[in-house]
Amino acid sequence: MRIAIIGTGYVGLVSGVCLAKIGHEVICVDKEQSKIDMLNARQLPIYENGLAELLKELADIEKISFSSDLAHALQVCDVVFIAVGTPQDESGKADLSAIFLVASEIALRAKADKLVIVKSTVPPSTCYRVRDCLKSSNSKVNFRVASNPEFLREGNAIADFMAPDLIVLGSEDEASRAILNEIYLPFAKEKLFHTDIITAELIKYSINSFLATKVGFINQMADCCESLGANIKDLSRAIGQDSRVGHKFLNPGPGFGGSCFPKDILALLAVAKEQQISLPIIESVISSNSERCHLMVKKIVMAAGGKIEGKKIAFLGLAFKAETDDVRYSPAIRIIKELTKLGAKITAHDYAAIANAKIELKEFSGIGFGQDEYEALDDADLLVVATEWPNYRNLDLAKVKAAMKGRIIIDLRNLLDEKALENQGFAYYSIGRRSDSLK
Ligand code: UGA
């Protein structure tokens, strides 16, 4: 099938490449010519493991191409995915202006029937509004719409696309359903979850909000563990063993971040407000997550002996999680900002996110960056681990000792080996263990 994907951001590119991999002919369209030029030169404007190789493989055999010519893409493709951004506006609502701009451009240029599938994360009933926009702008063409939200985790997106738990497909007629089945034909039938459009749109918000709630819950259990003298690692493993709970998203940490959970949970709340429904669970997940960063700062300050001004902190990890260069709503960045306001000096390291972090932190002074972990550690009073890059697990403790001035480690991801560190004479503070309690 020939498929056009509008928007070459994270979702559009991963989906385009993966749809090409499963056998379709894909044209990725973006109005930014510089992005198209980059992609035609086989360069990626985003960071995602394995994507560059796959893109090259599929572009070389012409299964995927990149263009800024929407009219041409619409001429050769009957199916169009919209995968543009829906950022948060000042009130917390999803900003849908890019969606409607694309819809009106499609309407203007389409000459024959189209199925327009919204992949961007949008509030329930947006697809209907897209359909109305398409039809009112061009009554000569028969437009159908469908919802097909994505469940791709940054750093794991190709695997998530290729081996999904489910593929959510919201449509309103048999013809659209048949096309959706054809697009996803290579996947087992049980993976395809057909429903109506509004439900499909709400499923996306529900999953992200539920997972954010799960993370918020385990973080609160970590606080209980610290206070009561229990161990969060065992607690998390045990409750996850109950199949009704499940192991995933039960790692405590500095709070959830990224471009999705914080934005989508707020957007769901905005939808509820519009509907005059109250969602107290969601509200408390938002407030407890925003409180969490202050709690982490307090933990670091207390580990430092109650005063952080003038202290030199080696800060390992800037991305909102491992395997990405994304620093949007990164707890690490928020914590660094607070610590520098308190007068701490930071030398940070990350395996992929330093360039983005420099932009995010440009207005803050007292922040340097290490070429590698050990350079960041040079002369530090304290070490903070904020992102769970697996390599930080393998720090050479002799080198750490030689580089650092102090012997205090605060591990906000429970990544390091407590016993090994204590044997080496470090004071080790992690998340959710009594020995770490800083009360
Ligand atoms: C999330 C969802 O997992 C994807 O299914 C979805 O497609 C995507 O949002 C989206 O809406 O586009 P992502 O933002 O890449 O994916 O990140 P996650 O791996 O879900 O992690 C989100 C946050 O929760 C991170 O800050 C992470 O560190 C935190 N987290 C996650 C924890 O603190 N503990 C955990 O056990 C799991």
Q: pLDDT (tens digit, 0 to 9) for every residue of the chain, 439 residues total?
A: 999 999 999 999 999 999 999 999 999 999 999 999 999 999 998 889 999 999 999 999 999 999 999 999 999 999 999 999 999 998 889 999 999 999 999 999 999 999 999 999 999 999 999 999 999 999 999 999 999 999 999 999 999 999 999 999 999 999 999 999 999 999 999 999 999 999 999 999 999 999 999 999 999 999 999 999 999 999 999 999 999 999 999 999 999 999 999 999 999 999 999 999 999 999 999 999 999 999 999 999 999 999 999 999 999 999 999 999 999 999 999 999 999 999 999 999 999 999 999 999 999 999 999 999 999 999 999 999 999 999 999 999 999 999 999 999 999 999 999 999 999 999 999 999 875 434 3
Neighbour tally for 437: CB within 10 Å: 16
Query: Could you give the C-alpha distances from 421 to 319, 372, 400, 407, in angstroms and in order?
Result: 24, 20, 10, 10
String of DSSP letters for 345-409? EEEEE-SS-HHHHHHHTTT-SSEEE-SSHHHHHTT-SEEEE-S--GGGGG--HHHHHHH-SS-EE
- pLDDT score of 350: 98
CA of 407 to the centre of ligand 1 (A): 32
Cα 131 from Cα 283, distance rounded (Å): 32
- pLDDT score of 439: 39
- Ligand 1: nearest atom to the Cα of 152: 7
CA of 191 to the centre of ligand 1 (A): 21
Cα 88 from Cα 318, distance rounded (Å): 22
Q: Which of 18, 127, 260, 293 is catalytic?
A: 260
- pLDDT score of 47: 87
Cα 10 from Cα 94, distance rounded (Å): 17
Global confidence as pTM:
0.95
CA of 430 to the centre of ligand 1 (A): 21
> Of all helices (H) and strands (E), which one includes residue 410?
strand 408-411
Q: Whose CA is nearest to atom 1 of ligand 1?
A: 153
Pocket residue to mutate for ligand 1, from 249, 321, 326, most atoms within 8 A of Cβ: 321
CA of 320 to the centre of ligand 1 (A): 9
Pocket residue to mutate for ligand 1, from 215, 324, 325, 327, most atoms within 8 A of Cβ: 215
Q: Whose CA is nearest to atom 6 of ligand 1?
A: 151
Give the HSE-up count for residue 145: Cα atoms under 13 Å, Cβ half-sphere.
25
Strand partners, 362: none
- pLDDT score of 399: 96
In the numeric block, the tokens 């939808």 are attached to 271
Tokens of 91: 């009130």
Tokens of 239: 């409750």
- Residue 260 catalytic? yes
Query: Nearest 5 degrees, angle CA 257-CA 263-CA 267?
Result: 150
Say if CB 427 and CB 303 are below 8 A apart. Answer: yes
